[in-house]
């Protein structure tokens, strides 16, 4: 998606500071009989264009409302947060000051006082200061898309829970949302609130309870700083609503600016010539800023992408693990710091490969579990078959996990007992998991047919079940094909109770943005998606997946699902988030994991490992990717 331990953040009051490396430029002068010669380094490359081909589109360009990995990757290059992760390591601790210079946390863990960096300007020339931080936090809780990322800020921040409860209980923009937000924002102005401007470059954020991953949560894209001048010049803030202009346009402090976005075609980014970090970045990355233009192209055809990078028409492409054998030589991952991208490539002279490094990224098949749904393909409101727990358990046993991992994903993954990934603090090693077992699947199918009136529900669905994936994602397509094959094997079993009419099982792809909107609207009953961590703490998995107001829990209509005790599980999640006792947290996370297993709320397909492919002439400042974010273009260059 290994706890986010906060590095050197302790319970006592302290300060996080990253030691600044002072570059000493040594000019070597050789004096000899022929005279003096100045040894010079090659000139730094400039004016380069990087072409990146991938699948899908961002949902929004607004980092306070976008909540998917494509958009967040773009935002990481356009916007900046107060702190960030090490650019060139696997560290998941957000200990690197970015727009902040310094942080002091109070002894009780409730007050975070940031000293901000001076001399930073937004792309429109607006100076960055403490008032900008306050404005952005207020904008987050004002706009608050319930399907977006603001929950991770609202829950721990002082007074934020009342706003969150209003949004999920009464709806965004409701009287409750407007009233609770207005009261909260007024408190910021009178000095009793959650986000306080202490002076021009000092801001204090106050929490409702100690929350260890708070710094990590605001290091996710939702903590991005947008120019207040830009927002106000283009519609301002409307409580409970998106700003349509901000959904499509950007204005941050980062190294790149979005100059063009044509969905399904491309995104063009231009280098910010006034980027505040340009000089200091070259201390560690001498060629930083070589890329003047980035062109991200949408190309859903995997074979076309592969041909384009081989022909040097693209510099980097999304290379799915389904095609790993065409590029990866099966070498074990070398030490990360020693990997130049050639050791694992079948053709090191033309392509670089970074493969099989661990990630916290997980892939899961989701069910919408409300009583009814507006089925996308059938085009009508139907009684929802996935509300039947025995059908979900049948499908959980009908899925061939081993084949998916070994054959489809080519070994780039492991089965896990979700929602917490293996290797992370809180993962219960003895957790229950579903296995591929057609006999068990038949047993649950028969229970659903005999005891849950599944045949009548299927009749209401015109005896059609559709398993969805986002088009262009070959792993998800093949996973849903495997699930369809598994259900067909159940129906072919001699002991299976047959529906009145033959059941048609379809596998259907939808374009990414349509796919997301259909999932959010509850218009697809069985669909697959991945989850990359916003921050490396188990709360960032159990809250989205298992909390009734969490992103996937909300989309899945968990609170409406028969047999799910939302009040109890939500309470466990809140208690685990607020506890500083590791043993208590582990116990609660084991309970939550077991509750999700018993409810068969998701099929935990696999936990992935890396496969990243670039052209041989692309250099990326040690892979350019921390596990917590996408590639960072500013440190990349080409030869």
466 within a domain of the structure (yes/no): yes
623 within a domain of the structure (yes/no): yes
Q: Are strands 316-317 and 48-54 parallel, antiparallel or unpaired?
A: parallel
The reported pLDDT for the residue numbered 42 is: 64
What's the DSSP call for residue 547? S
d(CA 293, CA 253): 17
Tell me, yes or no, whether 318 and 384 share the same domain.
no
Tell me, yes or no, whether 165 and 136 share the same domain.
yes
pLDDT digits (tens, 9 = 90+) for 125-155: 999 999 999 999 999 999 999 989 999 999 9
Phi, psi torsion values for 593, nearest 5 degrees: -60, -40
Range of 141's domain? Answer: 59-255
Quick check: helix, strand or coil at residue 557?
coil
Phi, psi torsion values for 227, nearest 5 degrees: -60, 115
What's the DSSP call for residue 22? P
Gyration radius of the chain over CA positions: 25
By C-alpha distance, which of 256, 266, 146, 136 is closest to 203?
136
Quick check: helix, strand or coil at residue 526?
strand
What CATH number should be reported for the domain holding residue 299? Answer: 3.40.190
The reported pLDDT for the residue numbered 91 is: 82
The reported pLDDT for the residue numbered 335 is: 85
d(CA 249, CA 590): 42
b/e burial code for range 433-454 (CB count within 10 A of at least 16 → b): ebebebebbbbbbbbbbeebeb
Q: Where are the extended beta strands (E) located within 396-512?
A: 413-414, 464-470, 504-510
Tell me, yes or no, whether 538 and 494 share the same domain.
yes
Tell me, yes or no, whether 312 and 393 share the same domain.
no
d(CA 408, CA 476): 9
The reported pLDDT for the residue numbered 634 is: 95
16 within a domain of the structure (yes/no): no
The reported pLDDT for the residue numbered 8 is: 30
- List average pLDDT for each run of 10 residues in the chain, which is 639 residues long: 28 31 28 38 84 94 95 96 89 93 96 98 98 98 95 96 96 98 97 97 97 93 98 98 98 98 96 97 93 97 97 96 95 87 96 92 96 92 97 98 95 94 92 97 98 97 97 94 98 98 97 91 95 91 94 94 96 91 95 97 95 92 68 93
Tell me, yes or no, whether 390 and 471 share the same domain.
yes
3 within a domain of the structure (yes/no): no
Tell me, yes or no, whether 394 and 310 share the same domain.
no
| Contact in structure between 242 and 65 (CB atoms under 8 Å) | yes
The reported pLDDT for the residue numbered 544 is: 93
Q: Is 568 exposed, middle or buried (0-12, 13-18, 19+ CB in 10 A)?
A: exposed
HEC sequence for 202-262? EEEEEECCCCCCHHHHCCCHHHCCCCHHHHHHCCCCCCCCCCHHHHHCCCCCCCEEEEEEE
Residue that is last in its domain, among 201, 226, 255: 255
d(CA 592, CA 566): 11
Residue that is last in its domain, among 255, 273, 296: 255
d(CA 93, CA 362): 20
CA angle centred on 610, ends 604 and 611, rounded to 5°: 120
Tell me, yes or no, whether 272 and 213 share the same domain.
no
244 within a domain of the structure (yes/no): yes
Query: What DSSP letter does each residue of 408-429 carry, written as one string?
Result: ISTT-EE---SSSPTTSTT--T
144 within a domain of the structure (yes/no): yes
Tell me, yes or no, whether 407 and 512 share the same domain.
yes
Quick check: helix, strand or coil at residue 637?
strand
pLDDT digits (tens, 9 = 90+) for 210-231: 998 899 999 999 999 999 999 9
Residue that is last in its domain, among 212, 227, 255: 255
CA angle centred on 45, ends 40 and 50, rounded to 5°: 160
Query: How many structural domains comprise the chain?
Result: 3
Tell me, yes or no, whether 251 and 271 share the same domain.
no
Phi, psi torsion values for 428, nearest 5 degrees: -80, 110
Tell me, yes or no, whether 465 and 551 share the same domain.
yes
CA distances from 454 to 340, 444, 500, 588 (A): 55, 11, 11, 34
46 within a domain of the structure (yes/no): no
What CATH number should be reported for the domain holding residue 427? Answer: 3.10.105.10
Tell me, yes or no, whether 619 and 605 share the same domain.
no
| Contact in structure between 271 and 256 (CB atoms under 8 Å) | yes
What CATH number should be reported for the domain holding residue 77? Answer: 3.40.190.10
41 within a domain of the structure (yes/no): no
Tell me, yes or no, whether 390 and 458 share the same domain.
yes
HEC sequence for 297-351? EECCCHHHHHHHHHCCCCCEECCCHHHHHHCECCCCCCCHHHCCCCCCECCCCCE
The reported pLDDT for the residue numbered 70 is: 93
Question: Which residues make Cβ contacts (< 8 Å) with residue 193, sequence separation at least 6?
Answer: 158, 159, 184, 185, 186, 187, 206
Phi, psi torsion values for 506, nearest 5 degrees: -110, 150
HEC sequence for 38-71? ECCCCCCCCCEEEEEEECCCCCCCCCCCCCCHHH
Other C-beta atoms closer than 10 Å to the C-beta of 511 total 17
Q: Where are the extended beta strands (E) located within 87-134?
A: 96-97, 100-105, 111-116
């Amino acid at each position: 998606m290994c706890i986010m331990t906060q590095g050197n953040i302790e319970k006592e009051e302290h300060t996080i500071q990253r030691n600044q490396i002072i570059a000493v430029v040594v000019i070597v002068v050789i004096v000899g009989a022929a005279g003096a010669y100045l040894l010079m380094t090659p000139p730094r490359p400039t004016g380069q264009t990087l072409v990146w081909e991938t699948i899908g589109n961002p949902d929004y360009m607004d980092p306070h409302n976008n909540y998917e990995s494509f958009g967040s990757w773009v935002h990481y290059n356009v916007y900046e947060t107060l702190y960030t992760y090490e650019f060139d390591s696997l560290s998941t601790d957000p200990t690197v000051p970015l727009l902040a210079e310094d942080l002091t946390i109070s002894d009780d863990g409730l007050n975070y006082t940031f000293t901000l960096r001076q001399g930073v300007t937004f792309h429109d020339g607006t100076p960055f200061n403490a008032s900008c931080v306050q404005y952005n936090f207020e904008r987050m809780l004002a706009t608050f898309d319930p399907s977006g990322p603001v929950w991770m800020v609202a829950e721990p921040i002082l007074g934020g829970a009342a706003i969150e409860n209003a949004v999920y209980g009464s709806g965004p923009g409701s009287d409750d949302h407007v009233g609770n937000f207005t009261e909260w924002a007024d408190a910021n102005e009178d000095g009793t609130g959650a986000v306080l401007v202490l002076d021009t470059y000092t801001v204090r954020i106050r929490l409702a309870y100690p929350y260890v991953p708070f710094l990590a949560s605001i290091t996710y894209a939702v903590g991005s700083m947008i120019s207040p001048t830009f927002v106000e010049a283009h519609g301002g803030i409307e409580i409970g609503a998106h700003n349509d202009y901000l959904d499509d346009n950007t204005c941050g402090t980062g190294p790149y600016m979005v100059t063009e976005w044509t969905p399904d075609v491309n995104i063009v980014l231009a280098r910010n010539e006034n980027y505040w970090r340009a000089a200091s970045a070259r201390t560690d990355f001498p060629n930083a800023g070589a890329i003047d233009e980035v062109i991200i192209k949408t190309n859903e055809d995997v074979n076309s992408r592969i041909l384009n990078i081989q022909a040097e028409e693209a510099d980097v492409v999304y290379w799915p693990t389904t095609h790993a054998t065409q590029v990866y030589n099966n070498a074990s991952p070398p030490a990360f710091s020693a990997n130049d991208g050639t050791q694992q490539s079948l053709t090191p002279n033309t392509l670089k490969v970074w493969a099989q490094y661990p990630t916290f990224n997980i892939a899961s098949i989701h069910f919408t579990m409300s009583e009814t749904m507006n089925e996308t393909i059938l085009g009508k409101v139907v009684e929802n078959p996935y509300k039947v727990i025995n059908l979900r358990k049948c499908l959980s046993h009908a899925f061939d996990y081993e084949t998916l991992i070994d054959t489809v994903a080519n070994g780039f993954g492991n089965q896990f007992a979700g929602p917490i990934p293996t290797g992370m603090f809180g993962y219960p090693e003895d957790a229950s998991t579903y296995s591929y077992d057609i006999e068990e699947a038949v047993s649950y199918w028969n229970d659903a047919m005999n005891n849950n009136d599944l045949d009548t529900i299927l009749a209401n669905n015109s005896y059609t079940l559709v398993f969805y994936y986002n088009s262009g994602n070959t792993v998800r397509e093949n996973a849903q094909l495997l699930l369809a094959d598994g259900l067909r094997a159940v129906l072919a079993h001699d002991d299976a109770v047959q529906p009145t009419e033959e059941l048609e099982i379809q596998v259907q792809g939808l374009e990414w943005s349509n796919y997301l909107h259909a999932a959010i609207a509850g218009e697809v009953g069985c669909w697959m998606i991945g989850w990359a961590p916003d921050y490396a703490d188990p709360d960032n998995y159990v809250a989205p997946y298992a909390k009734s107001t969490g992103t996937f829990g909300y989309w899945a209509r968990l609170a409406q699902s028969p047999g799910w005790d939302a009040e109890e599980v939500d309470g466990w999640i809140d208690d685990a988030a607020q506890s500083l006792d590791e043993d208590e947290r582990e116990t609660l996370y084991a309970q939550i994991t077991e509750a999700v297993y018993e409810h068969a709320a998701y099929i935990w397909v696999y936990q992935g490992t890396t496969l990243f492919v670039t052209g041989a002439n692309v250099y990326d400042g040690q892979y350019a990717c921390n596990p917590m974010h996408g590639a960072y273009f500013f440190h990349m260059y080409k030869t």
